[in-house]
Structure 1
Amino acid sequence: MIKKLFLMCCVISLITWQQVRAQSGAIGFHITMSEYDGDLNGNKHHFYSFKDRQVGGALSFQQYLNSSFNLVEKISFNQLRYQNDLKTEGFDADIYGVNLKLKYKFNNGYIFKEDAAIAPFLVAGIGGAYINSKQFNDLSAAKISDGELKGNLAVGAGILFQFNDRVGLEVANTLNAPLYDAWDGVDNGGNDLYLQHSAGLIFNFRKPADTDKDGVSDKKDKCPDTPSTAKVDSKGCPVDTDTDGVADYLDKCPMLAGSTLLDGCPDKDKDGVADLDDKCPDVPGVTRFAGCPDTDGDGIEDAKDKCPNLAGLDIFEGCADTDSDGVQDSEDKCPDTEKGVKVDETGCPADSDGDGVTDALDKCPQSKGDPANSGCPVVKEEVKKRLNFAMRGITFETGKAVLKASSFPMLDEVTSILEEYKDYNLKMGGHTDANGSNAANLKLSQARVDAVKAYLTRKGVSESRIEATGYGEDQPITTNATAAGRAQNRRVALELILK
């Protein structure tokens, strides 16, 4: 029977061991010492009275359920010996027990911390007991039980002294009640008890929680949110080799102390550009030019700026154009030219027609003229004579605004003069004699200059260059009392005026 029980215990142990290894759990090796409490001692509960010391042993397996509960499987061998004071009655018993118990842990994070060094607990469960006992006194020795397999109830309490995450010392007291009363040689209908005292080493196979997967358990991890790729120290905090306040896994320059603003890299010239990225690490510069300077702040780095100490323009490779005339100061012979004035390649006011009058003052900048005439060509006297001659040759049919054919050569001459003097416009005035009403004469004079204007435009003269106004009889040049005078008053006056 004992062999069968031993075999059963081995099978249970093997199965339980595999479960413990596969899941989170622990194994314990215990030394036990038990006390009797039953019919022979009057159930007086003489706990911790080790009159007849008998040592046993136990093997336990614990499976982690949650922070408050463990499932405990315990296989034990207990030896009990009792003899009354008169040495007339007694027994010697071997009890093999297999119990399944639920363990409540006070170090569950609610009452005590899970990593508390002293961790109290309570246990309760059921199981089986194989009991082999015999009488024991000075006079005789006889078998009481040749092996009884009975049920067992167990409750207890204890303390786990946790040395670290892996090992602890468990001290416990468990009250066992085999469902069999006769194992002490007396059967009074009740159940005899025995108190098991145990002390054992607990080896924890539950891998400590490591939320951030950095190799340091949460209990010891002072930096529980560190990325798993980061190298950490014994406290679970990221390593900072150069002690610059930037962890190595974030530090672009982990071996050189630098600035937190520059991902841990140094900035020797204090320009806000890390030396790693600074093309001019020994001279303060600007980010735009990868740490190289722009001394005059004109947006052109000094290396490309021909005038690095004077704010300038891109088109002049960093040199200035003070008067904004499009010619840089170093080449500008007139650096104070008024803004808006057209200049030549030297930066001085332009004189396009070369007449000595700058374009800004020249009313005829594309025609070489006389400075005294605002830079415009002066109408020659002979041209004035040609114009007067043509003016006298312009005639109309009597009382009408119809040009006589004899007028055409004269008007062609006027067209020729206007083509020669492109900076001038033609001002025409239409006049009549005093015959007829004033209103009729005014209308007739306007119609006649309009007829002249129409002829000239047909010949290619721009309409915008001709000003034609009829004045009627209001501006006579001589008397209207004679035929000769009236003939002179009937005229189209022509005058060249600057645009």
Structure 2
Amino acid sequence: MKHLNKLFAAVVLFCGLSSQAQDSNNPWAISFGANAVDTRVSAATKVEDQISQYFNVEDNWNILPSISYINVSRHVGGNFSFGVTGTVNKIKKFVNPRTTEPGDYTVTNPGDLSYYSADGIIKYDFLKGYIVQPYVHVGGGYTWFGDASYGTANAGLGLTFWFSEMVGLTLQSTYKQSFDERSERPLVAVNDNVPSHLQHFAGLTFKFGGKDTDGDGIYDKDDACPEVAGLKQFNGCPDTDGDGIVDGSDACPEVAGLAEFQGCPDTDGDGIADKDDACPDVAGPKSLQGCPDKDGDGVADKNDKCPDVAGPKENAGCPWPDTDGDGVLDKDDKCPDVKGTVANNGCPEISEEQILKLNAYAKTILFNSGKATFQQQTFPVLQSIVAILKEYPSSKFSIEGHTDSDGKDALNQKLSEDRAGAVKNYLTENGIAADRLTSVGFGESKPIDTNKTKKGKANNRRVEVKLVK
């Protein structure tokens, strides 16, 4: 019993080491089952005798009818694993070579001789990933054989049949070469040495230690999305809408779409993803965010006030009107309600005849003597001038005031300026835009007649209206 305690103490010690199972997904493995001890290998002197007696279970194998071995191992990389094995047994069949004749042996019962072993094992697996997985192993350990105990060097073969990814049946045979020199001498007490021997194992193997946090069947170490259940083809990441694009790369993870649109749909097939399409159910050009443009004027139908007639964007997709029909569009027509000429921005151009008429009226403007105030009979004349100017709303005019030579020059200059200004003020007060008019006084500097006669002086006292071009 004291040796059994030693065995399990050794197993616990080795379990704390970094050792190996079958693969990196489930790095740990535990195996347990029955073992058989066969001492004939140390008695047979010929290889053929050893082979022929290999399966002689009835005569040579010592089997304890219970769970009699346990192995704990861990994957260490590649096809290698490292583990520890502990076994217990009872030796009732001891093949004794201790006779005087070479090759002669006897099978004796040493009386339930106790057997314990604790071994380290380095295993190399072949055909990883297959249902049937053979392996070779080497190692060493310590064996308690009755009252004797000695170290051994071990090597052997094994085979695991995997019922599932996690559970398998393991069969193994191990040759243990004893370092006890007494084991080679005949006629030595059975329980006083540790002979070289074969040990066979049959048991179940369980792999464990793999972590699958999200439970999607893909281990965390291989799972690109370990916290969220996903699909194997996407390394464990989900594809909620099932469009073949993982949610992490899918701009529309809840709606199935196309790879070219990062997983988003294009319902109308216009080459614009619905999420970027202002009209997702009707095909349209990219330049209009996927909305149609029936009249081809560059204004989407939904924003086009004239969707069937081409028109500029500035006019909400409608053609510009030409209200007065003068060939100048209202947007460019300075006089949209009055027919004019293109050269004058849609406004009528004042004729020379009208200019002469204006000046004819201007000559009849009468001021109170020496003042810039109008005589009463002048107001109808001024209204006639207003009427003409309104017919040509884009034309600009200069109002010029003149005097005769009577009086001082400075006074005449000021009087001419005041009278020209008075005409301008009257015109603006009666609806003529101020920016269309300027006024200037020339005093007595520009006479048109002689200042030596009364009639000549009357002609020089005048107001003129000139077109500003």
Paired position in structure 2 for 1:202:
205
Q: Map residues 63-82 of structure 1 onto 2, 5 A cutoff.
A: 63-78=74-89, 79=91, 80-82=93-95
Change (3 A) 1:377 1:180: same
Q: Secondary structure in 2 aligned to 1:74?
A: strand
Q: Map residues 248-263 of structure 1 onto 2, 5 A cutoff.
A: 257-263=256-262
Give TM-score scaled by structure 2 length: 0.60
Paired position in structure 1 for 2:217:
215
CA distance in 2, matches of 1:286, 1:349: 41
Q: Secondary structure in 1 aligned to 2:60?
A: coil
Shift of 1:247: 4.4
Paired position in structure 2 for 1:5:
3
Corresponding pairs, count = 386
Shift of 1:103: 0.6
Higher relative contact order (CA 8 A, sep 6+): 2
Q: Map residues 238-387 of structure 1 onto 2, 5 A cutoff.
A: 244-247=243-246, 257-272=256-271, 280-285=279-284, 292-296=291-295, 300-313=299-312, 316-321=315-320, 329=321, 332-334=323-325, 336-337=327-328, 342-346=333-337, 348-349=339-340, 359=347, 361-362=349-350, 371-373=353-355, 377-378=359-360
Paired position in structure 2 for 1:131:
145
Deviation readout 1:309-365 (Å, 9 max, x if unpaired): 2344566443222xxxxxxx2x72326217996433537449xxxxxx9856248xx
Q: Map residues 47-126 of structure 1 onto 2, 5 A cutoff.
A: 47-50=50-53, 51=56, 52-56=59-63, 57-78=68-89, 79=91, 80-82=93-95, 89-92=106-109, 94=113, 96-106=115-125, 117-126=132-141
Change (3 A) 1:227 1:200: closer
Shift of 1:45: 7.7
Task: Report the more deviating stretch, 85-94 or 57-66.
Answer: 85-94
**1:25 is the counterpart of 2:28:** yes
CA distance in 1, matches of 2:84, 2:410: 137
Shift of 1:67: 3.6
Q: Does the CA contact (< 8 Å) of 1:40 and 1:90 recur in 2?
A: no
Shift of 1:194: 1.0
CA distance in 2, matches of 1:293, 1:306: 14
Change (3 A) 1:211 1:299: farther
Q: Map residues 176-187 of structure 1 onto 2, 5 A cutoff.
A: 176-182=176-182, 186-187=187-188
| Counterpart code for 1:105 | Y
CA distance in 2, matches of 1:171, 1:60: 13
Paired position in structure 1 for 2:153:
153
CA distance in 2, matches of 1:374, 1:227: 97
Change (3 A) 1:201 1:411: closer
Percent identity between matched residues is: 22
Shift of 1:36: 2.9
Unpaired stretches in structure 1, ≥5 consecutive residues: 133-146, 322-328, 351-356, 364-369, 395-404, 424-459, 470-476, 478-483, 485-491
Q: Does the CA contact (< 8 Å) of 1:251 and 1:263 recur in 2?
A: yes
Deviation readout 1:196-253 (Å, 9 max, x if unpaired): 2334332212327x7998532499x8xx646743532588566667654434666677
Q: Secondary structure in 2 aligned to 1:48?
A: helix
Greater helix share, structure number: 2
RMSD (CA atoms)? 5.4
Unpaired stretches in structure 2, ≥5 consecutive residues: 21-25, 370-399, 426-437, 453-459
Paired position in structure 2 for 1:326:
none
Change (3 A) 1:215 1:243: closer
CA distance in 2, matches of 1:340, 1:275: 38
Paired position in structure 2 for 1:175:
175
Q: Map residues 425-440 of structure 1 onto 2, 5 A cutoff.
A: none
CA distance in 2, matches of 1:461, 1:277: 61
